[in-house]
Chain A
Amino acid sequence: MASRDNDRVALAKAAYSYMDTESPNYGNVNTFFEFLADDVVFTVTCSPDTPVYGGAKRGKAAVIKFFTEDDPGVLTDLQVDGPLEFLGAGDRVVVLCSQSYTIKRTGRRIRNKACALVVDFHDELITRILNIEDLSDWNYESRRAKPA
């Protein structure tokens, strides 16, 4: 069991190397896409009616669209704060991270937002990602009137 846990952690580290500031892959999200199963499901912990982030993204194409168009369309200056941490058990790996980013619409900078990514593997591919994160700042800013 320990060997399997370590294998999954190694896969997760490779998949999320684009978020590792010390990796040569840092910033290259295409590396991450290579690990996605065709039927992958990506969900963020928020109400389904949350702009951009609400509702599950189903299938590899939808997840790629989210990471290449939807998310960058509303956030900028994304920064990973410190090293990622990986904890694995069976086919599931939890990735702990902290991020800072600017909400384009209002220019507000959100700092040091803790995040737990729950990543499920099957046959060495990622089949499910649950992004556990507080989205209250995003929800608040997305409802505010755009600054003049």
Chain B
Amino acid sequence: MTNRNIERARRALERLGQQVADRDHDAFFGLLAGDVVFGYSAPEGTPVSEELHGKQAVVDFTTRTSPELVEDHELAGPLEYFERGDRVVALGAESYTIRRSGVRVEDHEFAIVIDFRDGLMARMLTIKDLTDFADAYREG
């Protein structure tokens, strides 16, 4: 079992290095548990504040919602992986443009915490600074 979850995480997340329009999401979607919980370390009142529950919700977010929120997403190099039991953490840095404000976020570090269950991703939490995103999309 050692490092197998890292390889699964690597397959799921390698799509992040591709442009949104060209991404092959199959590897990512194929590794989602049916009852997956997906979320961001986001403040209240933004389009990513609430956790998503279930595989279809994550598919819908990935293919429809996310492309409407940000564009020109790029990774600043390969991800770095850490594993402990059924948990994998992926570290990386990314750049993207926030559609509503036009602000370009450059080389922002992030951590993705993935909990595996029976070889599938049961929980994903992305931790990163969302100040620019919240400024653009915060309600009220």
A-side contacts of B23, CB under 8 Å:
none
Contact A85 B87 (CB under 8 A): yes
Check if B4 is an interface residue, CB within 8 A of chain A.
Answer: no
Tell me, yes or no, whether A52 is within 8 Å of chain B by CB.
no
A118 to B93, CA, bound (A): 13
B43–chain A nearest beta-carbon distance, Å: 5
Q: Roughly how many angstroms separate A85 CA and B129 CA in the complex, as a whole number?
A: 20
User: A46 and B131 in contact (CB under 8 A), knowing A87-B87, A94-B82, A94-B89?
Assistant: yes
Taking residues whose C-beta sits less than 8 angstroms from the other chain, chain B's interface range is 20 to 34
A29-53 residues at the B interface, CB under 8 angstroms: 45-47, 50
Interface assignment of B53: CB less than 8 Å from any CB of chain A: no
Bound complex: CA of A102 vs CA of B82, how far in Å? 31
Stretch from B8-16, B25-33, B68-76, B103-111 at the A interface: B103-111
Enumerate chain B residues within 8 angstroms of A61, measured Cβ to Cβ: none
In the bound assembly, the distance between CA atoms of A139 and B132 in angstroms comes to: 10
Closest CB-CB distance, A6 to chain B, in whole Å?
Answer: 11
Most buried by A among B80, B127, B132: B127
Are A113 and B41 in touch, CB under 8 angstroms? Answer: yes
The interface residues of chain A, by DSSP majority, are classed as: strand
B138 contacts across to A, CB distance below 8 A = 136, 140
Answer yes or no: B133 CB below 8 A from chain A CBs: yes
Contact A136 B111 (CB under 8 A): no
Point out the residues of chain A lying under 8 angstroms from B132, CB to CB: 47
Contacts of A10 in B (CB 8 A): none
Q: Which residue of A lies closest to B110 (CB)?
A: A132
Do B43 and A136 touch across chains, with their CB atoms under 8 A apart?
yes
| Among B81, B82, B84, B111, contact of A132 (Cβ-Cβ < 8 Å) | B111
Q: Mark A64-105, 1 if CB is under 8 A from B, else 0.
A: 000000000000000000000111110010101000000000
Residues of B within 8 A of A (CB): 40-43, 80-84, 87, 89, 91, 108-111, 113, 125, 127-135, 138
Q: A116-B127, A132-B111, A136-B135 are in contact. List 4 more A-B contacts (CB 8 A).
A: A85-B84, A92-B80, A94-B111, A134-B128
Q: List 13 A-B pairs, Cβ < 8 Å.
A: A45-B128, A50-B131, A85-B87, A87-B84, A92-B80, A94-B82, A116-B127, A132-B128, A133-B41, A133-B129, A134-B41, A134-B130, A136-B138
Chain A interface residues toward B at CB < 8 A? 45-47, 50, 85-89, 92, 94, 96, 113-116, 118, 130, 132-137, 139-140
